[in-house]
Amino acid sequence: MSRLEREFGCDRIEEARWEQVKRDYIGLLIDHKQPECAETFFNSVSCKILHRTYFHNRCLFVRPAASTEHIDADPPSYRSYYPRQHGLRPALVDIVLDFRLNTRFADFRRDVRNVVGAFRARFPRPLRLEANHQIQVLSSLFFRNRTAYIVGRVINGYHLWPFVVPIKHDDQGRLYFDALLIDPDDIALLFSANRAYFLVDMEVPSAYVKFLHGMVPVRTEAELYTMVGLQKQGKTLFFRDFLHHLKHSTDQFIPAPGIKGLVMAVFTLPSYPYVFKVIRDNIAPSKDTTPERVKEKYFLVKHHDRVGRMADTLEYSDVAFPRARFAPELTAELKALAPSAIEEDGDAIIVRHLYIERRMTPLNLFLEKATPGQRERAMRDYGDALRQLAAVNIFAGDLLFKNFGVTRFGRVVFYDYDEIDYVTDCRFRRIPPTPPGYDEMSNEVWYPVGPKDIFPEEFETFLLTDPAVRKDFVAHHADLLDAEWWQSVQATLSGGALPEVLSYPERIRFGAPASAR
């Protein structure tokens, strides 16, 4: 990058010269194992060097120039096993042996028995085995936090069933199988963008993404690239999908429904399942933050364990939107709230910096129309979200329902990060008793309050104003209204312990060995 700037400079690079650079670069992609990632790298360099007016197909890879189909990997991206020949148990043994794990299993016979039993419970006998009956398993393990995952699929004739087997360590450092994920919803939640990305060793990423897309069709290829740690490529594919959608739709961008934020201006395209967030120039004084600090909070979330409870974001600069697709009220709102982030350039409106998140139903709007059963489940999950975030040292800060969303899977997820903080940096307190003679009509509190002071008992006053909502929350999470619960979490975290929040339901676990409890 520095060499290009030194030898050519941004104002000295001609468009025709950069087009020739791109053509020569394409020739290098013919035998490349990761051509899509190489194209994304070229785009990143180009966007740093070129003026924005050159951001078009002749100078960038707006569309892929090299196919990712049938790229050979050595060893192959997935291996196939045939239970009809020797049985399911020997096939499972071979699958594990082929990973060449250095650490021993605590009780491998027990683990194989657990997996076989779970498979047979999912496929009750008699199961007619077709001629094409095989198990296909990706050649590399997937790593996240303290768990490794075997990822594969069972094929029987024209039917396909994805599965995932988590591998964990017990207290002696030995391995054991913890569960079998075979329900599509459980697997979809495992591959959720609201969780930390996986670490995967892949020679041909496109083959892994294609395999995963067949397992989890509800996830886009852009999301899957991001989840296996290739976020730049995920952003490239997302933007290609976005441009394609704009070409095949006519609706307008509008302000996002719901309560207006004090930090962000948020807009959406009704036909597209995402929201676009721009930091306001003048943030409300009550928020006590700055645009720079807001960016730091979003950076923190991006690199923190999100435990399935914080929405992932895609961050872009200099995004050109067609001016004709912006509703007049949206253009007026952005000019009023974030004028420094907006530039009008011919038929385009340029947004200099924005975050993009998958659209969810704000929890406050969800509760307005929820049935009693839906409300009870939502409040239980809302409290679970606070607990799980606290377990990984995150305090959401602003706990208002408008800052949480309900996903298509019915999970409550946090998405407003301007006030998040580490639990260990907060000071959770009880409100001191009222002193004698205190005037209850006074607007002044009788105790000092510091910038990091949190009074959990106030949550009930400010959050649980609806009696039915309060009843459902207190039934499951009354301890969250007590400073002692938060102080106990702080003590656990300060002692160096970091409880693990599982990426799959507790109900499907085989039962951890005694040494792992």
Question: Which residues form the catalytic set?
Answer: 312
- Identify the residue whose tokens are 């009222």: 434
- Identify the residue whose tokens are 């910038």: 451
Q: How far apart are CA 313 and CA 301, in angstroms?
A: 9
Burial of 274 per CB tally in 10 Å (0-12, 13-18, 19+): middle
Three-point CA angle 10, 12, 13, nearest 5°: 75
Q: What is the DSSP letter of 144?
A: E
The backbone region for 416, taken as left when phi is positive above 0, alpha when psi lies in -120 to 50, beta otherwise, is: beta
**Under a CB-based contact definition with an 8 Å cutoff, are residues 34 and 78 in contact?**
no
Using alpha carbons, select from 144, 230, 221 the residue that is nearest to residue 190. Answer: 144
Terminal alpha carbon distance of the chain: 51
Q: How far apart are CA 134 and CA 114, in angstroms?
A: 20
Q: Which secondary-structure segment (H or E) carries 343?
A: strand 342-345
Quote the tokens at residue 339. Answer: 């004028």
Q: How far apart are CA 20 and CA 5, in angstroms?
A: 18
Q: How far apart are CA 415 and CA 417, in angstroms?
A: 6
Q: How far apart are CA 114 and CA 121, in angstroms?
A: 11
φ, ψ of residue 146 in degrees (nearest 5): -105, 20
CA 15 to chain CA centroid, Å, is 37
